[in-house]
Amino acid sequence: MFRSTVLVCGGTGCHSNHSGEIYDAFQKQIAENKLSEEVMLVKTGCFGLCAVGPVVIIYPEGSFYSHVTVDDVPELISEHLIKGRLVRRLLYKDHKTEEITKALSETNFYKKQTRVALRNCGVINPENIDEYIAYDGYQALIKVLTEMQPQEVIDVIKASGLRGRGGAGFPTGLKWQFCRNAKPDETGIKYVCCNADEGDPGAFMDRSILEGDPHAVIEAMAIAAYAIGSCQGYIYIRAEYPIAVQRIRIAIEQAKEYGLLGKNILDSGFDFDLEVRLGSGAFVCGEETALMTSIEGKRGEPRPRPPFPANKGLFGRPTILNNVETYANVAQIILKGADWFASMGSEKSKGTKVFALGGKIVNTGLVEIPMGTTLRTVIEDIGGGIPNGKKFKAAQTGGPSGGCIPAQLIDVPIDYENLAAIGSIMGSGGLIVMDENNCMVDIAKFFLEFTKDESCGKCTPCRIGTTRLLEYLNKITSGKGTLEDLDEMEKLCYYIKDNALCGLGQTAPNPVLSTLRYFRDEYIAHIVDKRCPAGVCKALLSYEITDQCKGCTLCARNCPVGAITGKVKEKHVIDKSKCIKCGVCMEKCKFGAIIRK
């Protein structure tokens, strides 16, 4: 029996900050201090609060240590594990109150979360199947194989109200029902696929679940296979997720060793095997038909629908495809019941949703909230607000296919219907926060650059339409736009939405449409006044030295192109023909004598 358990975050974020070396240091120090029989060391998945990583939590106290380094390990060993004293300088401090938080559950970041899909992330060793089993792992699979008929499983998922967490929000149970009802070909084969491609900039929900709780996805896919009558599944995961790839492969091998994958699972007569397929990072392969085409070994391009994958999907056979987060809810629904899951969330959007919170926010990381939670709760309470005293301006949901939500709508409840009504989408769960220093025209251009580059090129509305939209945005941000361009942009946006082949092309104009809807004044300022209100678009900026200049020469000495001249103790001048508008002079001036126009 161990008296203490040390959890070290092994997610990608903390791993990039040397958490692997921290784990190794703990391992060495525990052995040297002869604590191996008293202290259990566990490498977990992501805890969620990425902003303060690397994170170490020590139980039974639940002490939450943040920003831990390798050099801190000896002190944590000697003080906490040997002497029983907290290392207060490493304990997490609340950003607003500066109060020390001794336990993870006491932080504002976690108080308003409800963790279902993330329930085991940061709790168990994802590379040890026994730890997953200790937390009711594979109990749901045992239940469906021994107590439930396939149709009963589908009925429970339907009744729960679970909708796909990958973007469109299609009812999961209904998708499974369509596939169960579909007639297979002479081989009788149907497929279960998992979308772990996750290509949205700033999104890392699925990656973190696979890194922290891979068996939850395997168990759910086996349940789905039993429900629709499948014997083969594929997990499509991007190769840029090496830790997630490694852990899902380890989990698959462990499940096979325990007889939870393969032939005659648990002596039930049910066969199901699972394979991993790596994607090469094409954004379009997040679209279901393009993903299946890629698994088949072809270039990842979307296919026209109908026929829908439930009838003719992978290799032309009936197929269901759900993303990682969707599957992560399934086992808990089977064990706790449809009513339990449906009791969370809003009327039409049941359960919880995981968001990757990033951008201009204090607490960057993963959050899981009940559907219907307001944007204000996420940003101000869970996220800790906007850093450096800046004002909240907008939030982008749904990644490059989503829309920008303005500050006046901060109290909107986050669910599928409400986001659609204000011109955004849930998407896979990226949530990028912007402050007063962000230019919304530039934001729209950023996302259009991404979708244009990632267009597969198969259909003209997306291939040419996004190119033309980007040309308009470049024209406007360089000070050459006209008011007529705004009308033409809107027409083009709706044409693309109505005519693009797949969902990715159809949603590509959303950032433009939402910024035109809520931030049209910024577009007009760029066009009419030749001015970027946020001071971002360089072509529209100019710097000027005012009479406050003391002639200290600091600006001239730091100008990278020698555009500033003047004598000591005399007002300096900027040669605008040489100025590259980098803003270094304004940053270096100690007297506030340089202004940006």
Residue 129 token pair: 């199947």
> Tokens 């784990």 appear where?
23
Cα of 102 vs its chain's centroid, Å: 28
Are the C-beta atoms of residues 539 and 496 closer than 8 Å to each other? no
Within a 10 A sphere around the Cβ of 148, how many other Cβ atoms?
A: 18
Q: What is the CATH number of the domain that holds 479?
A: 1.20.1440.230
- Tell which of 386, 419, 435 closes a domain: 435
Measured CA to CA, the distance from residue 279 to residue 120 in angstroms comes to 26
Cα of 410 vs its chain's centroid, Å: 20
For residue 396, tell me if it sits in a domain: yes
- Tell which of 321, 341, 361 closes a domain: 341
Q: What is the CATH number of the domain that holds 550?
A: 3.30.70.20
pLDDT score at 596:
86
Are the C-beta atoms of residues 425 and 504 closer than 8 Å to each other? no
Q: Please return the burial class of 88, using the count of CB atoms within 10 Å of its CB with bins 0-12, 13-18 and 19+.
A: exposed
* Listed residue (189, 165, 169, 187) closest to 179, CA to CA: 189
For residue 114, tell me if it sits in a domain: no
Q: C-alpha angle with apex 582: 387 to 489, nearest 5 degrees?
A: 80
Residue 371 token pair: 């559907």
Measured CA to CA, the distance from residue 595 to residue 506 in angstroms comes to 42
Q: What is the CATH number of the domain that holds 68?
A: 3.40.30.10
Within a 10 A sphere around the Cβ of 320, how many other Cβ atoms?
A: 29
Residue 394 token pair: 């907008």
The partner residues of 565 in beta bridges, in order of sequence, read 573
Phi/psi for 7 (5° steps) reads -100, 125
Judge if 451 and 562 occupy the same domain.
Answer: no
Judge if 94 and 44 occupy the same domain.
Answer: yes
Judge if 329 and 379 occupy the same domain.
Answer: no
Judge if 296 and 387 occupy the same domain.
Answer: no
For residue 40, tell me if it sits in a domain: yes
Judge if 252 and 188 occupy the same domain.
Answer: yes
pLDDT score at 103:
73
Are the C-beta atoms of residues 456 and 282 closer than 8 Å to each other? yes
> Tokens 């998992």 appear where?
194
Phi/psi for 577 (5° steps) reads -75, -25
For residue 378, tell me if it sits in a domain: yes
Judge if 93 and 153 occupy the same domain.
Answer: no
For residue 118, tell me if it sits in a domain: no
Residue 511 token pair: 């950032």
Question: Looking at the 3D structure of the chain, how many domains does it have?
Answer: 5
Measured CA to CA, the distance from residue 584 to residue 569 in angstroms comes to 20
Q: What is the pLDDT along the chain (597 residues), one digit of tens a residue?
A: 799 999 999 999 999 999 999 999 999 999 999 999 999 999 999 999 999 999 999 999 999 999 999 999 999 999 999 999 999 999 998 777 677 876 777 788 998 899 999 999 999 999 999 999 999 999 999 999 999 999 999 999 999 999 999 877 899 999 999 999 999 888 899 999 999 998 888 889 999 999 999 999 999 999 999 999 999 999 999 999 999 999 999 999 999 999 999 999 999 999 999 999 999 888 888 889 999 999 999 999 999 889 999 999 999 999 999 999 999 999 999 999 999 999 999 999 999 999 999 999 999 999 999 999 999 999 999 999 999 999 999 999 988 888 999 999 999 999 999 999 998 888 888 899 999 999 999 999 999 999 999 888 899 999 999 999 999 999 999 999 999 999 999 999 999 999 999 888 899 999 999 999 999 999 999 999 999 999 899 889 889 999 999 999 999 999 999 999 999 999 999 998 999 988 899 999 999 999 988
Q: What is the CATH number of the domain that holds 401?
A: 3.10.20.600
The partner residues of 369 in beta bridges, in order of sequence, read 353
Measured CA to CA, the distance from residue 447 to residue 394 in angstroms comes to 15
Query: What are the residues whose beta carbons fall under 8 Å from the beta carbon of 343, sequence distance 6 or more?
Result: none
Residue 178's domain comprises: 129-341
Q: What is the CATH number of the domain that holds 302?
A: 3.40.50.11540
Are the C-beta atoms of residues 385 and 96 closer than 8 Å to each other? yes
Judge if 414 and 452 occupy the same domain.
Answer: no
Phi/psi for 236 (5° steps) reads -100, 110
Are the C-beta atoms of residues 274 and 252 closer than 8 Å to each other? yes
- Please compute, for residue 462, the number of CA atoms within 13 A of its CA located in the half-sphere on the CB side: 24
Measured CA to CA, the distance from residue 375 to residue 95 in angstroms comes to 19
For residue 113, tell me if it sits in a domain: no
Judge if 135 and 270 occupy the same domain.
Answer: yes
Judge if 359 and 409 occupy the same domain.
Answer: yes
* Listed residue (447, 473, 468, 469) closest to 526, CA to CA: 473
Q: Which amino acid is at 10?
A: G
Judge if 218 and 329 occupy the same domain.
Answer: yes
Judge if 302 and 367 occupy the same domain.
Answer: no
Measured CA to CA, the distance from residue 238 to residue 65 in angstroms comes to 32
Measured CA to CA, the distance from residue 262 to residue 283 in angstroms comes to 32
Locate the DSSP E strands across 71-185: 92-93, 100-101
Distances (CA, A) of 179 to 227, 269, 324: 9, 21, 19
Judge if 236 and 88 occupy the same domain.
Answer: no
